[in-house]
Structure 1
Amino acid sequence: MRIRTRVAMLAAAMTPVFFGSGGAPSQPRPVEVGWVVLGDSYVAGSFVGDPVGRPDGCERTSEAYPAVVGRRLREAGVPVRMVANVSCGGARIIDVTESQRPVGRDAPAGGWPAVPPQVDAVKRDVGLVTIGVGGNSVPLGDLLFTCLRSGIGQPDDTAPCRAAAEESVGTAYARVSTEYRNMLAEVRAAAPKAVIVTVGAPSVIPMDTRSCDRGDVTMFAGTLVGQGIASVTHADLGWIREVTENLNQIYAEQTTSAGGVYVDVVEATRGHDACRHRGVKWVEGVCGPPGTPVAEPIDALCATAPRGQRRATVVHPNAQGHAAVARQVAFAVARIFRTG
């Protein structure tokens, strides 16, 4: 079924006509659409704003884009209400349909207990499901640390990390594609009438990687114990950017095939990558500010970072980045569900 046709049918089903005493149709009243949020740390927020919800290690925050989208939709009068946000830091694609053991900070003794599969929050009467997940299934975090170590002492124009990891990453694409397709099918089965909106990853690496200072741990460098500053070479950064572009393409293709709506946020965030200076960047690099109003955590990886930027942010959107993604997602959702 074409996306436009599915949306038209959903709108018709969710906007009944009410009759007054004279039998003539009165002004239709919008029916509130229930919305469930699924995803990983790029959705949860991790260090953006205040913690929200009960502590479970998933690190959802008040300025992450779902919360911002919710506020924008309310202000615009779009009848969409968030009924659950079960996004979780560290989530892989399969964690949408299987239980996950969160790895957030401040875990109790023995670690955080497992959380249920995210899809459990998707009920049959839900009208909208937004999903942002995929990078941890490569996994991009491990790849970043591999590239940091591989870049020690290497010239800018070499790609030692690509040489070491390209084969395994290439193999991961087919698995990610299959997992993403299966995940969308399970979400669809849980809420047959829902509109499924998936969100891609933003721009995190510049087109010209020479703008990245290899000695700056707020970009793509970090302090490794006993090894000093380790950084990703410029050539390897270009390759990692290609990897994220390929993943976005997989999300888009699988979403379209499943009859969903894909939101591309790359162009909307270009020029605000992790290699920009404070105030311009919308993505933090390896190290960045705490984000939440708590005592600054000083991670060993970030020991040489400037004061106020010593948290291991490990290439995640900051509040400005989440606001930028929220604009794109809110626009897409409003086009589907706006009434009148």
Structure 2
Amino acid sequence: MPLTSRPLLRRTLVTLGSAALAALALAPAARAADPEYVALGDSMASGPLIPDVTGPVACARSTHNYAHELAATLGVAGLTDVTCSGAASKHMTEPQSLSVLGQPAGTAPPQFDALTGGTRLVTLTIGGNDAGLVGVAQDCVNLLPTGTPCKTRYTQGGVDQVAARIDAFEPKLSAVLDGIRQRSPQARVVVTGYGLYIKPGGCWPAVPVLPVDADWLQGSVNRMNGVIARQAAAHGMTYIDLVTPSQGHDACQSPSAKWLEGFVPTSSAAPLHPNRLGEANYARIIAGQIQAAR
């Protein structure tokens, strides 16, 4: 080869090498921007106080919530988990103000920002905060077996105020599901209900709510599940029933059996939320339905 050609060859190889390195550098970024699985939802999905925390501390998102367990089971190429404690349906499209112990802790971006046209799986758990279910349950604590049922405080003019909130959530959920489909048209969308928090009649004083309130509270959860199931079906999406497989695993059960904690947790989990065993079993149930449909 003539000596005058060698500098040109070196420049050409350097140029090609730089282009190849640039392409390699861009590849991981492209994958990160186009996750295979996006997890959306509230604290039932985020797994508050279950070690270890990932993401914003105020979102209380666990590395052992059902999204992480499901991603490992399915072997997905990439998970973007934006679940966040306190999230309501509006936080799919609006930022969520965060706080820790009552102190401002920034904001979480709209959860829909994680969705892309290349997303292949979306899970969603939402609605509990729209209806204020945890706050209602906290109001129902009754240390006396002869106390006044809290159900009566939430019934005004013969109207169940909690049931009214749940019914008002239905069009909001419809809009959320439409938004997911618009942003990720190729994705399989899995929408979960909420689990069995307390068995029929409750277990006062272990879980200090009166029997009538135990049935009313779980009945409210079941009403929410009905809304979720109905809207999932209307949108051609998969609904996951978590009440039926939760039989024998409610907050009244032993620490080794329960999937959901009561007012005083017996494991590392938030009160009135799934523990690690619950999140793992939710992932197992969801994975089973996804795999069965393949």
Under TM normalisation by the shorter chain, which class is it?
A: 0.7 to 0.9
Q: 2:152 aligns with which of 134, 139, 163?
A: 163
Q: Distance in 1 between matches of 2:121 and 2:164?
A: 32
The TM-score, its normalising length taken from structure 2, stands at 0.81
- Residue 43 (structure 1) aligns with: 45
Q: Distance in 2 between matches of 1:213 and 1:232?
A: 6
Q: Distance in 1 between matches of 2:266 and 2:97?
A: 26
- Residue 240 (structure 1) aligns with: 217
Q: 2:81 aligns with which of 70, 75, 85?
A: 85
Question: Does residue 326 of the first structure (1) align with residue 283 of the second (2)?
Answer: yes
Render the CA deviation track for 1:187-218: whole Å, top value 9, x for unaligned: 11111221111011111111242xx131x3xx
Q: Distance in 1 between matches of 2:78 and 2:241?
A: 21
- Residue 74 (structure 2) aligns with: 73
- Residue 185 (structure 2) aligns with: 192
Q: Distance in 2 between matches of 1:174 and 1:278?
A: 34
Q: Distance in 2 between matches of 1:201 and 1:94?
A: 19
- The alignment yields a C-alpha RMSD, in angstroms, of 2.0
Q: Distance in 2 between matches of 1:207 and 1:283?
A: 15
CA distance 1:159–1:272, change in 2 (3 Å): farther
Structure 2 unaligned residues grouped into runs of 5+: 1-33
Q: 2:97 aligns with which of 101, 105, 110?
A: 101
Shift of 1:56: 4.3
Contact 2:130–2:169 (8 Å) recurs in 1: yes
Q: Alignment length, in residue pairs?
A: 257
Q: Distance in 2 between matches of 1:33 and 1:119?
A: 13
Contact 2:251–2:259 (8 Å) recurs in 1: yes
Render the CA deviation track for 1:99-144: whole Å, top value 9, x for unaligned: 1113456x8xx51111111011111111111101111111011101
CA distance 1:213–1:152, change in 2 (3 Å): closer
Shift of 1:153: 3.4
**Aligned pairs (5 A) from 1:1-340:** 34-53=36-55, 55-74=56-75, 80-104=76-100, 110-148=103-141, 151-155=142-146, 160-166=149-155, 167-209=160-202, 212-214=203-205, 216=206, 220=207, 231-289=208-266, 291=268, 313-336=270-293, 338=294
Contact 2:99–2:105 (8 Å) recurs in 1: yes
Identity %: 28
The TM-score, its normalising length taken from structure 1, stands at 0.71
CA distance 1:138–1:63, change in 2 (3 Å): same
Q: Distance in 2 between matches of 1:159 and 1:242?
A: 18
Shift of 1:314: 2.1
Contact 1:284–1:314 (8 Å) recurs in 2: yes
Render the CA deviation track for 1:5-27: whole Å, top value 9, x for unaligned: xxxxxxxxxxxxxxxxxxxxxxx
